[in-house]
Each structure stands twice: as C-alpha cells, then as structure tokens.
Amino acid sequence: MENIGIDVHKKESQLCIITEAGEVLELRIRTERGRFKEVLGARGKAKVLMEASTESEWVARCLEEMGHEVVVADPNFAPMYGMRTRRVKTDKRDARALADACASGTYREAHRTSEARRQTKALLAVRDALVRARAKNLTLMGALVRQQGLRVATGSAEKFLQRLAKVELPASLKESLEPLMEVVTLLNKQVAVVDEKLSVMVEADEEMKRLCTMPSVGPVTAAAFVATIDDADRFDGPHQVQAYLGLVPSERSSGEKQQRGRITKTGNGKVRRLLVQVALSTMRLKKASSKPLWEWAGRIEEKRGRKVAAVALARKTAGILFAMLRDEAPFKARGQAEPATA
C-alpha cells in the first residue's frame, strides 16, 4: 500500500507519495475536489495522512469516497515531524514528513467531529459572528452618546434600542445614529432567528436537553459544549476535559520547585468563555438548586477574588457537564433527591 502525505492549504496543497517500491513522487495541486480525483482517483487504495485544519475534513471525506484510508492527525504531535529539521520549513518538507510519519505510524489521530456536530458548530459560528457585529455597533453608539454628556442605561443587548429611545438625543446625533440603529435592528432579528433554531435543535437532542437541566446553562452553552466534546467516551475523565478546554492552570516545575500560572487557554475559546459566563451567572443568581456550587465558589472568592473564583467554577462546571454526558444523567445538586430544573 502506498503512503501519502498531504500538506493541505486553502488554495494549493502539496502531495508526497511514497510508492510500494519506495519511489517518492512530489507534486503540487489546487485544493479542489476535481484535482484530487484526477491525481488520486485512479491510484490503488493508499494510506493518506494530513494535519487537522479548516479544509481537512472535506478533503478527507473526498479521498475516502475514492477508497483511500485517511488519517487526520493532531498537528501538535511533535514526533510526526521527527525526521524534519526545524531550521528549514517548506510545504515540500512538511508533505514528506507526513508521508514518512504515515509509513512509520508516528502520528496521533485527531478527533473527527460527526456531521451533526459540525452543523451545530456552523450554526454557533454564525450566531457568534452576528452577536459580535451587534456588540461592535452598540459600543460605537454608546460612545457617541457619551460624547454628548448623555448615557444609555445598562441592560441586555437585545433591548439597547429601547433604552436608547428614552434618551433625549440632539437631532444631529439622532440622524447620525439612524444607520447604526437600522443595522442593529436587523442583527437583533437575525440573532433571534438563530436562537430559535438552536432552541429547536436542543429540544430534539437528548444530550443538549440534558445539559440544560443544570442551572444557568442555556441552549447556546449546551449546544457548544456537546458539539465540542462530541463523544464523551474519548475522554478518560473530567480532568482531561478541563485540560482540553484550557481551564487548568499552566505549570513550569522542575525538581523540588513547583510553579503554577494562569490557565492554559488551549482548545475552544468560545466554549471556555461560555462556561465562565455560566459560572458568573451561578455566583450572581445564587439559585437554591446550585447552592453547593456558589457556596464553594464564594469561599474561593473570599481568598483569591471573583475572577479566580469564576474560572475555578467554570472548570468545575465543565467537569459536571462532562459527567452528565458520560453518565446520561440530568443535573442533580448534592443531597437532592430529584433532578434540578433550569
């Protein structure tokens, strides 16, 4: 069986083919389905190795349809490039290193998210883009209002325009803000449409629906967490999930010295931010169903401050949500006989 390494890029990809006879073939092609089919479609079944990237999933599925065995590998696995010098980096060298790793087995497979979870991620990415665009416009509008010595009351982004309408704005400023107000109105409608789709999705998905039984966890957080974890069985336990989401402290220890720093912030930053928001909401609302959690966070807050306590509670929340997925069980507070409801 031939071993093929592909360094996939947005426009062009570099291929390195090691034939069964040991011959090395190198070529560069357009990153298009048609070109992959022209070059690799007629070849016998081969083992193909590529790094996980934005384009890797569709390329992998395209090659699998041709009958090839495809491995999408973790790009952070150093031994995969063990035969390549770090002083010189080119696409040809990377593709050759991937082909050699494919032949020797010195790679670590990356998790390939299921089609359903990829669709969830796409919807969440659209929502995130809309929310960010709205926030940018609201920030500008608030700043322009403050320049006139006025101020818009605090509140939710959805009701910003309602609060703005209560401020007596100069005619010139009101005219300047009109284009932004129209944009924000449209963004509010689009965010509401996406939120409705997410609500329907969560209601139909048992895993997401189960996570929403935890206080302060809504459809967006539940969908993002499930889409990121995808398969709970691939993790050994809660701590591995916490590390995967970048919520564990960094460490630089040697000998008898042990130094721990801030959280690593590896993995999905969006999910990490959502978990911190859940933690802050839990600490602020202090619901009876989550009393053990906010009491625990409160003790940390007294010693180390609110930010540290929020991150610590976010880490604990990630572990709880993982356990709910793994055990297929709804949220239940300590000492509680019946499952808690959101």
pLDDT in tens, 290-324: 999 999 999 999 999 999 999 999 999 999 999 99
Question: Across residues 252-277, what is the average pLDDT?
Answer: 86
**193 and 249 together in one domain:** no
Three-class DSSP category at 124: helix
How far is 207 from 341, CA to CA, in rounded Å? 15
In angstroms, how far is CA 336 from the centroid of its own chain?
32
User: Based on the structure, what is the number of domains in the chain?
Assistant: 3
Is the pLDDT at 78 greater than 90? The verdict is no
Is the pLDDT at 255 greater than 90? The verdict is no
**Residue 278, in any domain of the structure:** yes
pLDDT band at 76 (very low <50, low <70, confident <90, very high): confident
CATH of the domain at 85: 3.30.420.40
**Residue 81 is encoded by which pair of tokens?**
């490039």
pLDDT band at 64 (very low <50, low <70, confident <90, very high): very high
pLDDT (0 to 100) of residue 28 = 96
**Element (DSSP H or E) covering residue 282:** helix 269-285
**22 and 66 together in one domain:** yes
Is the pLDDT at 149 greater than 90? The verdict is yes
The string of DSSP letters for 289-334 reads GGHHHHHHHHHHHHHH-HHHHHHHHHHHHHHHHHHHHHHT-----T
Sign of the C-alpha dihedral, residues 203, 282, 267, 122? positive
Rounded to 5 degrees, what are φ and ψ at 121?
Answer: -60, -40
pLDDT band at 334 (very low <50, low <70, confident <90, very high): low
pLDDT (0 to 100) of residue 212 = 97
Rounded to 5 degrees, what are φ and ψ at 14?
Answer: -100, 130
**88 and 121 together in one domain:** no
**127 and 59 together in one domain:** no
Structural domain of residue 171, as residue ranges?
115-204
**46 and 145 together in one domain:** no
**179 and 270 together in one domain:** no
Which amino acid is residue 10, in one-letter code? K
How far is 81 from 244, CA to CA, in rounded Å? 23
**64 and 83 together in one domain:** yes
**153 and 49 together in one domain:** no
**Residue 292 is encoded by which pair of tokens?**
């053990």
Q: Which of 104, 125, 143 is the last residue of a domain?
A: 104
**216 and 321 together in one domain:** yes
Measured N-to-C along each axis, helices 269-285 and 291-304 cross at an angle, to the nearest 10 degrees, of 100
pLDDT (0 to 100) of residue 85 = 66
Nearest to 48 by CA among 88, 89, 7: 7
Q: Which of 155, 188, 204 is the last residue of a domain?
A: 204
The reported pTM is 0.87
**Residue 69, in any domain of the structure:** yes
pLDDT digits (tens, 9 = 90+) for 182-217: 999 999 999 999 999 999 999 999 999 999 999 999
**Residue 341, in any domain of the structure:** no
Contact status, residue 73 vs residue 97, Cβ threshold 8 Å: no
Cα distances (Å, whole numbers) of residue 102 to 44, 60, 143, 233: 16, 15, 55, 26
Question: Across residues 44-52, what is the average pLDDT?
Answer: 96
Which amino acid is residue 319, in one-letter code? G
Question: Across residues 64-80, what is the average pLDDT?
Answer: 93
**Residue 131, in any domain of the structure:** yes
Burial (Cβ within 10 Å: 0-12, 13-18, ≥19) of residue 29: middle
Report the percentage of the chain scoring pLDDT > 70: 96
**Residue 332, in any domain of the structure:** no
**139 and 242 together in one domain:** no
Contact status, residue 27 vs residue 69, Cβ threshold 8 Å: no
Contact status, residue 264 vs residue 243, Cβ threshold 8 Å: yes
How far is 98 from 72, CA to CA, in rounded Å? 11
**Residue 82 is encoded by which pair of tokens?**
């063990």
How far is 313 from 214, CA to CA, in rounded Å? 13
How far is 153 from 286, CA to CA, in rounded Å? 24
**317 and 253 together in one domain:** yes
pLDDT (0 to 100) of residue 87 = 73
Which amino acid is residue 84, in one-letter code? R
Residue 81: count of CB within 10 angstroms of its CB: 19
Q: Which of 171, 204, 237 is the last residue of a domain?
A: 204
**251 and 302 together in one domain:** yes
pLDDT band at 342 (very low <50, low <70, confident <90, very high): very low
pLDDT (0 to 100) of residue 88 = 79
pLDDT band at 86 (very low <50, low <70, confident <90, very high): low
Provide the 8-state DSSP code for 178.
Answer: H
